Structure formats: C-alpha cells, structure tokens
A and B are shown apart, each in its own frame.
Chain A
C-alpha cells in the first residue's frame, strides 16, 4: 500500500522536497499577509498595543488554520508523497503539528479578546461566526486531548481512529465557516477564494483517504 523511496534519484528527491517546502512556505506567507494586505475594518479602531494584539491574534488564527489544512496532507496515503517523504516522519510531523495547532488555538482568542479589553460576547445571533469559532475551539481541544491521552482514556485504537477521522472534516468545515464570516478580510477576492479552495482540497483528500482505508479494511 505504501510506496518506498524508489524510482527518484537522490538529487531529484531533494530538489522536489525543497520545491514542496518552498511552495508550502509561500502559501503560509500569503495567508499570514492577509491581515496586512486585506485589512479588516476592525483594525481602523485599534491603536498602539491593542492594534499589535489584534494583528497577533489574527496571525495566530491564520497560522492555526494553515497548519490544520495541511494535517490531512501529512497522513493521507499517496505514492507521490511517499516517494518524497518517509511516512514515519510525516506521522510525527502530524502529531507535532496537532500540538502546535492546540497552542495557537488557545493564543488566538486570547489575543483577540485582549485587544478588545476582554469585552465579552453577548448571547445574540449576530455573533454567530464567533460562536462557530468557540465550537471549533472545543472540537479541536477534544481531538487533541483524545489523541494525547488515548491510552489514559482507555480508547481502543479503532474507536480513537473513528473519532479522529470524523472530527477532522467537521473541524475543516467549521474552520471555513468561521474564517469566511468572522472577518471582512475574507468577504471577497483572493482571501475568500483561497480559504474555500483549502477547505475543498482538505475535504477531497480526506474523502479519498477515508475511502481507501474503508476499502482496505473490507478486503482484509
């Protein structure tokens, strides 16, 4: 099922690895530039330290979003990817990434709320994008903690895998809904298009990955 590092010469492999890394870094840099290039109106009313906090919160959130979108690319089976990167390394990166996402997901609302002097949200329908973000926060905390403490919680590997693979697309959907509606930076243009594309790619890769695993499990 999983391909070995064959067919590619070492030089080509290194070259393609560098190309993939540069491509990913470029996508990350583009995403993190969004708050500066497509400035939201909430920044009009922030000065000094509060402005710094709000930018920090947006960057933390966008970085978490980018890392979340690539999570599926790290674990989905692919012969092309397997010829470039060892599977074991990618699984380890997937786990480390998950922890990093957990940290960023804690920092993001903290910085945003701090920039607003911790003015709490009221339970009103008009704040639904923020409430989607809160739901996403709890879902991600659930996924990360069930993964970290799988054995302590007594979760059987099969059950854990079901939880994990069901929560993943849920998180991607909530993330896209939250990002597209919580900030007017994403109302139109390249930010909106790229967010929708990232979400669509995530769901497509997840769907193929899940389909392959179900097919393989049924055969064995």
Chain B
C-alpha cells in the first residue's frame, strides 16, 4: 500500500513538471509575419528601414515569466532602407561594419510581469563590439491555436525601444555633428512566433 502511494505521488510530481514545461514552450519566430523596423532622423525627416534576415527563439509562459527567455539574432547585411547605395554605406565601416560584425544579438537574462499584458525583459544587446544591458517593455499579445496550421500554436509580441547608435559605435559621430544623421534610432519589433502543439 505504502509503495503504491509513493508511486502515485511520484507520478503526480512528474506529471506536474511535465505540464509546467509544456506551458513554457519554445516559440520560433514566424518570419513572414514579423518585422524589425527602425527609424532615424536625417536632417528633418525620418528615414525608415528594416532588417530582412533575423531569427529568434522565445520561450514564454505568461503564468511563469521567470522561466521565460528571449533570444534574437539579426544579420546586419540584411539591412534595407530602399536605396542600394545607402544600404551599402550602412554596411560599411562608417556604420555597421558588417564584414567584421555580421550579426547583432539579444539574449534575455530575466523576464518579469509588470501589469496586464506588459512584461519587462532584461537582457544583453550586442551590436558590433559593444554589449550593453537593456530592458525591453514587451507587450504579450496572446497565444492561440493557429487558425490555419492545425499542429501549431501561435503567439504574438510587440515592443519598441530607442537606441543611441553612437553608444554601440554605429558611426563615429561625424554625421551627427553635421546634423545629417541623428544618433537616436527608434526600433519597432512585432513578432508572431510558432510552436508545435
């Protein structure tokens, strides 16, 4: 009898941990329905662009944000601003130096629930040779069974931030001093991510 109770107890514990792991699923970014865009001031106007090649894995459980994590990699060569010569200049050593630093990465170190659907994600952003701790205010848009892919679940996330590009050595400041290119870059990220059910 005691042996039977022990077995049942162990089975329940195992089931509990399995169930809790299943909630914190690994979502892979659905590239076709996500975007990483940015805007930076040029004299008076704002020039917008985006990155086409990026990947990421999001482990997220709204009920246990402490078990969640966000990892992104963005390929610098994939920058697009609509003008070929400008994209080439941005990839050059004047800005991103894509040949030497091909990717930017973000790796979260902690996730905290703030209120409602708002979560605070702490992590390290690496651009070129600079790594800095930053905090993202991420809006969790929800998750549901994918309406078209029966075997998948989809989740949505939104966040934006402003980065001082000079702090990450993206430019040496000469264009900012001339009033040509601003130093603060607004980044807008909207993500749909998928996981197997």
Contacts of A120 in B (CB 8 A): 99
Q: Is the CB of A44 within 8 A of B180?
A: yes
Interface residues on A, range: 10 to 19
In the complex, which of the residues A47, A121, A124 contacts B174, with contact meaning CB atoms closer than 8 Å?
A47
Q: Which residue of A lies closest to B88 (CB)?
A: A119
Q: Is the CB of B175 within 8 A of A117?
A: no
- Residue in A47, A116, A119, A126 with the greatest tally of chain B CB atoms within 10 Å: A119
Q: Is the CB of B94 within 8 A of A127?
A: no
Asked whether A42 is an interface residue with its Cβ less than 8 Å from the other chain, the reply is: yes
Contacts of B128 in A (CB 8 A): none
Asked whether B91 is an interface residue with its Cβ less than 8 Å from the other chain, the reply is: yes
Q: A124-B84, A127-B84 are in contact. Are A119 and B175 (CB under 8 A)?
A: no
Asked whether A45 is an interface residue with its Cβ less than 8 Å from the other chain, the reply is: yes
- Beyond A44-B180, A130-B84, list 12 extra A-B contacts (CB 8 Å): A42-B89, A45-B94, A45-B175, A45-B180, A116-B89, A117-B92, A119-B88, A119-B89, A119-B91, A119-B92, A120-B99, A126-B83
Q: Is the CB of B93 within 8 A of A117?
A: yes
Asked whether B77 is an interface residue with its Cβ less than 8 Å from the other chain, the reply is: yes
Give chain A nearest CB distance to B24 CB in angstroms: 38
Give A40-97 interface residues, CB cut-off 8 Å to B: 42, 44-45, 47
Q: A45-B94, A45-B175, A117-B94 are in contact. Are A122 and B77 (CB under 8 A)?
A: yes
9 shortest A-B CB distances, which residue pairs? A126-B84, A119-B92, A117-B93, A127-B84, A117-B92, A119-B88, A119-B91, A116-B92, A42-B85
Which B residues form the contact surface with A (CB < 8 A)? 77, 83-85, 87-89, 91-94, 98-99, 174-175, 180
Give chain B nearest CB distance to A201 CB in angstroms: 30
Bound-state Cα–Cα, A47 to B177, Å: 13
Bound-state Cα–Cα, A122 to B52, Å: 14
Q: Is the CB of B180 within 8 A of A116?
A: no
Q: A45-B94, A45-B180, A47-B174 are in contact. Are A119 and B99 (CB under 8 A)?
A: yes
Give chain A nearest CB distance to B21 CB in angstroms: 42
Give chain B nearest CB distance to A154 CB in angstroms: 42
The main secondary structure of chain B at its interface with chain A is helix
Give chain A nearest CB distance to B174 CB in angstroms: 7
- Residue in A44, A45, A47, A126 with the greatest tally of chain B CB atoms within 10 Å: A45
Contacts of A44 in B (CB 8 A): 180
Bound-state Cα–Cα, A122 to B91, Å: 10
Bound-state Cα–Cα, A45 to B121, Å: 37
Bound-state Cα–Cα, A119 to B84, Å: 12
Q: Return 30 A-B CB contacts under 8 Å, by A number.
A: A42-B85, A42-B89, A44-B180, A45-B89, A45-B94, A45-B175, A45-B180, A47-B174, A116-B88, A116-B89, A116-B92, A117-B92, A117-B93, A117-B94, A119-B88, A119-B89, A119-B91, A119-B92, A119-B93, A119-B98, A119-B99, A120-B99, A121-B88, A122-B77, A122-B88, A124-B84, A126-B84, A126-B87, A127-B88, A130-B84
Bound-state Cα–Cα, A121 to B85, Å: 9
Interface string of A99-125 (1 = CB under 8 A from B): 000000000000000001101111010
Bound-state Cα–Cα, A116 to B91, Å: 10
Q: Which residue of A lies closest to B180 (CB)?
A: A44
- Residue in B85, B89, B174, B175 with the greatest tally of chain A CB atoms within 10 Å: B85
Bound-state Cα–Cα, A116 to B88, Å: 9
Bound-state Cα–Cα, A42 to B180, Å: 13
Contacts of B77 in A (CB 8 A): 122
Bound-state Cα–Cα, A42 to B92, Å: 13
